[in-house]
Amino acid sequence: MENSHQKAREYQKIKNRLLFVHLFGTPLFLLIAMLTPVSAFFRDGALVLTDNPYLGFVCYFFFFSLYMLVFDFPFSYYSSYAVEHQFQLSNQTWRAWLVEWFKKALLSFGLSCALLLGLYALIWNFPRTWWLLAWVAYAFVSYVLGKIFPVVIVPLFYRYGKVEDDALKKRVVSLCERFRLPVENVFSINLSKTTKKANAAFMGLGKTKRVVLSDTLLDNFNHDEIDVVVAHELAHYRHHDIWKQFAIGVVTSLVAFWITFMMLGPLAIRLNFEGAADMASMPLLFLIFYLFHLILMPIQNGYSRHIERAADRFALEALQGPAFFISCMEKLGDMNLADPNPNPIMEWLFFDHPPLGKRIEMAKQWTGEK
């Protein structure tokens, strides 16, 4: 066990370093783009290709995306391929990883380009109210993406299946019926195509809501431990957690758009751009949003840990006992190389789930309370 914990600490230490590299590397690249002629060069090059401002923006964003790949590609390769293979957590070949990365990059570019083009169309045509209109559009798009994510985005990368084990299926059906989640909304997913890690999730809105269990979890956990995971995910359904987080995201985004509206124009002019409407000032727009969400991140993660603790307590109450909860958490820690007791500052800043050590300790305290 000690060797397992030592390996987890080494893995998390590397992951934490990479987290800080990404945390500071992203704004650094944005600063370089806006404090040097880089962004203006991309804009001028785009406008040479076309005098249509909308097509010009697409060209500009393409150039800017290639620029950001100078940072993103080597970082992604090292963090999601090299390190995962170093700790024997990945099942991907180099070619498979590259195909997955390319698919994600294309999807990200297409979606981001469409959304940003819409944002700049609002800035160009509604210079005083664009922030409010953009917020309304953001709320609508977030809702649509929340609904289609499980049925459109996930199948681009993984394949859904049903729970095949008949005995397990009966247990899952029983739990779902007990808490009134339609059983057809419980799926397995072939996570093993990319990783040895185990995972589960509750995702979707409305008719697309579902509990998703990875095949790595189904293959390596016993039925009682899988009950724990299903009960935990059912808690998110019963507590309406996705809707609560959606509402919080809508409210905080209103503040983010207003702050960006107040700061973008004046700062863009100081940086020798032509104002908020100048597409070359886009790195500044990104930086404002980035810093806002960076400041907000500990609060959002704290709330996320709160609802995850509530889901853990729900699972303990539903299954009337901590033994399999504890063994499930220990197995998750071993499979995912999760540090059970991370640095408290790292936990406060970056953890959206309670550390496994605290989850296990809560289960033991729950026994004492009962």
Check residue 269 and give its pLDDT.
96
Residue 195 per-residue DSSP state: B
Residue 158 has phi, psi (to 5 degrees) of -135, 165
Rounded CA separation 259/310 (Å): 33
pLDDT tens, 178-191?
888 776 778 899 99
Q: Report the Cα 207 to chain-centroid distance in Å.
A: 22
Q: What is the mean pLDDT of residues 218-239?
A: 91
Check residue 44 and give its pLDDT.
96
Helix (H) or strand (E) holding 170: helix 166-178
Q: What CA dihedral angle connects 62, 19, 306 and 154, to 10 degrees?
A: 40
What is the pTM assigned to this prediction? 0.91
Q: Is 239 helix (H, G, I), strand (E, B) or coil?
A: coil
pLDDT tens, 229-276?
989 988 998 999 999 999 999 999 999 999 999 999 999 999 999 999
272: left (phi over 0), alpha (psi -120 to 50) or beta: left
